[in-house]
Structures are given as structure tokens and as C-alpha cells.
Structure 1
């Protein structure tokens, strides 16, 4: 919020100097209004008194005084003096552009100001204003005393026709979209097909779940296929969001279309695959047999990574016989899922997996590394150390370092110090952390010359204080 306050301070100074409100503030950004409110108070002591509005200027009982400009009225609504804020609220009724500050004042810390602001907001909050101010009201609800404005907003929008809520359905703030869709679901403003399309379109998981569940709610258990809106199912099944697809897959059984679930057994999402397996089983199918049949084609270009992952998820150790040949599949994703599947089935062959450390696909190497970590001490440390050089791809350097780091002792220290000046920032940081937390193993003699040289080099890069404990534990106490 600090950055918003700084922006509010700049806006307050410019308003006091006579700038127009649209020139200093993005009226459509609710955070900007909160920033202005905080910025005026923060900058208040530096604003010349003659530039600030007074109660006399704002008092409507003195009609011979010129009405304050919108800019001065905005400053008054954020004034440190509660009497000025209260007086400004009476003038704000005629200025729709300042109603966002009326919303802010409904949560004011001074009770008379707060009550006056709530009276004004109840007066001005028609349907148009409610839609326009909804993002700010919902943002204010995250703070104290913001419930009144939300309740008033709810009262107004529940009477609104569906088309007036459309701007809220597409608001960039997910909190606004959640509120709008909850209201629409509660009031029955959207059809199941519209809810399904909203679930498939929105990127927020809460909105996805809310709309998907509401879209499927009218579908009774055991309904015949002819009684289900195919548009709803197609929208859910075609969504890019795994939560939405899983809801659609699960609904296939309720809709009497369980046979369609087989098409999602190799989905890229584990959640969707699990739902598909459930529906297939409930429909009398055998997911494991389906996966075994798909994975039998070693060079099948149509084989998907999801099918390989699915076999491991529902298979047994004997199914590893189908995964080992897939380590040579031309598709990198299939090779990676095969490695992960072998780990899931708790089947390991260090010799065969070690060869994949040279795989050109980063995803494959990332999966091989955790499979080999328990066997790090059996790997050739010199060959791994060769991969730490700048000439190796980043994924190869990361894998080699993780395996060398897992060995501990002198091998770990050598690898970490080697990477302290690596061009990759993240890898360099991981190496530095490894050096700082390094400690010698019991079989290492205290005062080893090589250890001393490595720690001296690390000290030059990391500083003496960072390595005080490793130096002491290695026998260098001076």
C-alpha cells in the first residue's frame, strides 16, 4: 500500500495547486481512491493552509459563498479534521465523480462522519452508481467498518436485471467477479449454459467451482442423456481449467454418458484423470487395461504423457515393464512421465536412469534427478562435476549440483564453490546457501588443506561472517 500512498501524496499536492481531479487520478481504479485518502493525510502538514478547504467554505448555509471546486471538495473529503470531512459530505451529493470518496467515508473512524457518509451513500446509490462503485465497495469491505456499504450494494444489485451485472462479471478484480457470480447464482440470473461458459472462461478457481457446481445443480442424479443440456457438458469438458473439466467429467455419469469419460483418461491433469477413472469404473470399464493398451506402443507417436502418468497412478509394480521401453520414446513429455511413473511405482534401475541425465529435454532431467537422489553416493562424482561448467545447459548443471549436494562432505563443498560465480542467479544463490550451511562429515580430517582453499575462495565471494561456522567446524578457528 505504500506505493499507493506515495501516488496519493502526489495527487493531493497537485489538487491543492489547482489541478483537475481527472488529471491526477484514475477514477476507475479503486486503489487510487484509497491512496488519495491516505495521501492527503500523509501530506497534510506540507500543504499550505490557504490551499485547503475550510468548514466555512463548505457550509451550505452560506449561499453567497462560491461552491468549492471538485478538486477542493476531494481534498475536503480526505481532510484530517472530521468537521471538514462531515461538511464536505453534504456538498458531495451533487458531485457523482466524488462518490467513491463518500464510500471511503462510510468506514470513517469518526462516528458522526461515518453516519453522515452512510446517509449520503444511501441517497445516491442507484443502480448505475452501484455497478460503478462495486469494486471500491468490495475493496473497502476487506477493511474495518466496510460491511454497511457492502450490504447496501447487495440490496441494490439484487434488484438489478442480469445485463446490468455484466461489467462485474468481467472485472479484472477476482473478488468483484466472485461477488457478482455469487449474487447471480443466488438470484437465478444466469442459465446453466451461461454458468458453464463462465466456469470455462474465468481464470479464478473460486469462480470456476461456483459456476460449474451451479451449472450442474439442475441435473438430477440418474437423469437420462436426453434430459441433459449438452451445451453445459460440452462447455465444461472443453474448459482449459482442470477443476472445470473434472466437474464435467464427473457429471457424465449423472448424465448417463459415462462412456465419454474414457476420452479423458489421458488428460493432462491428474485431477481430471482421477475423475475419469472413477466414471469409467462406475460404468463397468477397466482404466488400467485401457492404459496398458495405450502404453504398449513403444514408438506410437499418438501416445500422450497423460496416458503414461495414468498407468502409474492406477497400476501396480508389474506395469513397470511397459514404462521402461518408453524411456526412449521420441516425445519428451512421454519420457518424463515414464520416469515419474517408475518413481511412483517404486521401481528404480540406477544404470538405466543415469543415462537420462544427458537427455536434451529439461523436463526429463528434472524427473530423473529426484529418482536418483537416494542413490547419489553411487554415482560418479567426477562425471557429475563435469556438467557444472558453463558449457552445459542450465538443467544439466542444476541436476548435477543437486546430486553432488546430496552426497555431502567434500564433494558437496567442491560443487557449491564451483557454482558461486555461475552466470545463473538462482543457481548461484542455491550454491551460496549450500556453502553457508555446509559442515564436514565425520570422515573428513580437521584442517584439510583443500577444504581451507575452498572456504577461502568462498569467503572472498560471500564474506567472512557468512562462513564463520563452516570454518570453525572444519578446524579453522583463527
Structure 2
């Protein structure tokens, strides 16, 4: 059981948004909007677009038709033109969403309803929350009849829209009708539900499936391993582990151990952590030990808890894993060792500063900051020479407490446009951390920077400075005061009036 994500959902969302824009344009009387709307609906209907569109879209479509008052504001000639341009199922869709309640009820009674078309069930669901009671009752009757013969894909779509509409006033009726179908539903319904791009639908589907005990362990494991939503993946993993893994001191079946082994390979750290947790009650600290070096902090913490609960030393286990022949340390290994190690591990950590993996080098910088802080000159050299942004961020984080001691001339040289972007970003961070007036100078200097990201950050930081700084806090040197005033004068066209006024107010004369 997998999840269809990415391309199909994104394409359907874009096409759905185009339809809603065309609706607004038509209501406003835009020239050619009827043709644009018809074209957008045809594009959305092609492929699997109508089944991949967000469940909330159907309510937006209803509102776009009904509350823009198509059939009461636009002329009859224009309406006839639109009817002629729309595909037949959408002619019914427009009628069932009309502003006139009698027209909506008439559409529900008509034999022209597009049976088997993906537009039918979602709009019947939406009409079940109609404010007009006759329309609502007629929609509920028609929905119940249609659901009785619905295919698994149609029932899944109806569920998704009904759950999305459940928070509406009078929206519980449709949810009740679709939920009544789920206990005896074809297993394919669940597969369709978990293939929908909308993560809220998949979360609700999992809750209903667990309530009904509708999913076997194999399908829950599949969800845990493949679903892109971490909440779905974690809950599926926790449930299958709870159901298959026995309590402490009871034998573990081969099938249960297979479930654990598969979940230990999951992409989501929350799923791996859940699988590592049960290693405590299965008495397998040996399996947990390997996760002391996991890339995820959560998984490493869980693994340490498991091995400590079996009176084993996680630091000693980490050192043993690292000492294996041919072992190449990643960021998880570096972080895992420092989280339970001590000063005796510093020589090995320093060796990782030369690792071929940038994340391992960055983790080594952070680890040494905790156990044996590097001196500022070494960190500055590392920042200047290592091209990795992650290493630069780690070195900068270690330097920030000492930024006031770093010669500003060196940092400003790194800030020049000819330097690599990452070095410029970290130089700006350190200059801002030096003192209030160096921060202000740096921001004003970067307002017109050719790098848009640096310019945006400078503008945002100026707003923060004017909001949080006190007019009487600290005094600039004469050189700083002259520099700030000159920079402010040259930046007048780049600042809004309020920020400019606040800056002038806060700069001492």
C-alpha cells in the first residue's frame, strides 16, 4: 500500500486553482472567461485530475458558483453560451451549485445527473450540508442511493470530501453516510484512500481503518515505510508494533521480528525510533546498539535508553562501532559519540575535521565546541577555507559568543561581493553579533547588495532592530556614527518611511 504524491497532486492543484480563477473572472464579466473556464474544466477532467484534487476544492467550487450568483446576475444569453461550452457533467455541476435553491433541488431530482462521473459524488456530498433543508434531504437520499453502487475509487473519493466537509454546519450527514459503508467496504477502498495526495484524508482514513481493524499488519508496515506524512507513518508503525510484539519476557515470533527489522529501515526517524523502542521489551539491545550512530537525534536518544536499560554503556558501544575496520563515520556517528562520550574522544573527533563528508565535518565542529572548544583563529580559518555551508554554519555558531573579538576588517573583507556566497552570509552573521552599531552598519551596507537573500535578511534585521532596540542603549564611536549616518543617507530610497524615521530616532547625535 503506497501513496501517490508529487506530480499528480501538484498538477491537479494547479488545474483546480485555474478553474476557480476562471469562475471568479466569469462572475466579474471578464471577456472570454467562459471559454477559459470550459478549457480549464476539460484539462482538470483529463487523466486523474478530478480524483487527485484536494477534497476542499469541491466546497470552493460550490462557493465559486453559488455565491457569485451566476444564474441571477448574468444575462440568460450568457448563461446559455456557458452551458453550450461546458462538458455535459459540468452543466449538471453548475446547476447543482446554483444560487437558486429550487434549481439545486431540481438538479438533484433530474435524470441528467452524471452517473459514474467523478463530479457526481463530491457535489452530492457538498449538497448534504446545504442550508436549505429540502435540498439537504434530497442530497442525502441521492448520496445514499449512489454509494450503494459506488466503485471502490468512488467511495474513497466520497469519503475524502465528506470528511473535509464534516466541520461545516450540517456537514455531519454525509460523513455518517460514508462511514456506514466502510465496515463492509472492499479492501481496495483503503488502497485508494491511502493513495490520495491530501495528507489530512490519509490521517482520517488511518484512524477509521484502525477503529475498524480493517488493515492487516503487512499493509500497516507498508504505510509506515512509504507514506510521506510522518503522522500517518508513525501511527501505523506504533499500532502494528503494539499488535504484533509481545510484552517483556515473552517469546517473539519470527513474523514479529520481521516487522521490527523492516521498520528499523524506515526513512522517517519517528518510525525507526518506534521500532528501536520495542527492542527493549524484546530483549535485543544488540540490535539497538547500531542505532547509537543513527543520523536522527531522536533515534539515537531512544537507542541509548534501550542499551542503558540493559546496563550497557552507550559510549563504549559507540567506540566499538567506530573502531570497526573500514568504518566511515558520518554525521550521526560523530554526534552519537559526543552525546555520550567524554574528553577522551577529542582526538578522534579532531580527525573528523578532515572527513570527506561535509556533514561529518560540521558535526565534528559542533562536537568539539561541546567537549574541547577550538580557538577562534582555527574556527576562522576553517570558515574561510571549507566550502561547505553546513561547516560554515557550525563554525559561525561556535564563533558568535566571541564575535566582538574578531577584527571587523577581516569580516568585512569576507563580506565583499567577490567572495563565495556562504562565506558572505556567515560574515554578516558574525558582524551583526559583534555589537549594536556594527550590526546596523552591516544591515545598511547590505540593503543594496546584489545577492537578494542578503538584502532581504538585512531589511528584515533592520525592522527587528528598530522594534527591539532602545534609543539610549550603547553609544557608537565617532567613526561608527559617521559611517551609519552616511550609509543611512544613501539607503533612504531603499527603506520605508516608518523604518527610516525609527532609525534616525535611535541614532545618537
TM-score, normalised to structure 2, is 0.81
Q: How does 1:95-174 map to 2 (within 5 A)?
A: 95-96=114-115, 97=117, 98-126=120-148, 127-128=150-151, 129-174=154-199
- Point out which structure has higher relative CO (alpha carbons under 8 A, 6+ apart): 2
Q: How many angstroms apart in 1 are the aligned matches of 2:41 and 2:341? A: 64
Contact 2:155/2:178 (8 A) holds in 1: yes
Alpha-carbon shift at residue 150 of structure 1 (Å) = 1.3
Q: Is the 8 A contact 1:208 1:244 kept in 2?
A: yes
Matched, 1:238 2:238: no
**Partner SS state of residue 239, structure 1:** coil
The separation in 2 between residues aligned to 1:203 and 1:31, in whole angstroms, is 20
Separation (CA, whole Å) in 2 of partners of 1:51 and 1:435:
53
Distance 1:17 1:276 in 2: 58
CA distance in 1, matches of 2:496, 2:40: 52
Alpha carbons of 1:326 and 1:164: their partners in 2 closer, same or farther (altered >3 Å)? closer
Q: Which of 455, 460, 468 does residue 428 from structure 1 map onto?
A: 455
Name whichever of 255-264 and 222-231 sits farther off: 222-231
How big is the shift at 1:356?
1.9
Separation of aligned partners in 2, 1:134 and 1:256: 42
Instruction: Pick the aligned partner of 1:280 from 282, 304, 307.
Output: 307
Give, in angstroms, the shift of residue 186 of structure 1: 2.5
Separation (CA, whole Å) in 2 of partners of 1:345 and 1:300: 26
Assess, with a 3 A threshold, how the Cα gap between structure 1 residues 367 and 171 changes in structure 2: closer, same or farther.
same
Give the corresponding residue for 1:202. 227
CA drift of 1:305 comes to 1.4
Q: Distance in 2 between matches of 1:429 and 1:88?
A: 53
Q: How does 1:349-360 map to 2 (within 5 A)?
A: 349-358=375-384, 359-360=386-387
Query: In structure 1, which of residues 467, 470, 474 is the aligned counterpart of residue 500 of structure 2?
Result: 467
5 Å-filtered alignment, 1:321-332, equals: 322-332=348-358
CA RMSD of aligned residues (A): 3.3
**Corresponding residue of 1:91:** 110
Deviates more, 1:277-286 or 1:103-112: 277-286
Shift of 1:121: 1.3
Secondary structure, aligned partner of 2:185: coil
How many Å apart are 1:289 and its aligned residue? Answer: 1.6
The verdict on how the C-alpha distance between 1:3 and 1:465 changes in structure 2, with shifts beyond 3 A counting, is farther
Where does the alignment leave 5 or more consecutive residues of structure 2 unmatched?
A: 1-15, 81-86
Where does 1:55-454 land on structure 2 (aligned, <5 Å)?
70-91=89-110, 94-96=113-115, 97=117, 98-126=120-148, 127-128=150-151, 129-218=154-243, 219-222=245-248, 223-293=250-320, 302-316=328-342, 319-320=345-346, 322-345=348-371, 347=373, 349-358=375-384, 359-436=386-463, 437=465, 441-445=474-478, 448-454=481-487
1:382-412 deviation digits (Å, cap 9, x = unpaired) = 1011110122121111111011011224422
**1:206-242: per-residue Cα shift (whole Å, max 9, x none)?**
2112210121122111232445533311220111111
Cα separation, 2, equivalents of 1:360 and 1:99:
56
Is this contact kept in 2: 1:16–1:71, CA < 8 A?
Answer: no
Aligned CA distance change for structure 1 residues 372 and 105 (closer, same or farther; 3 Å): same
The count of corresponding residues between Structure 1 and Structure 2 is 461
For the residue of structure 2 that corresponds to 1:245, the secondary structure is: helix
Distance of 2:187 and 2:483 partners within structure 1: 75
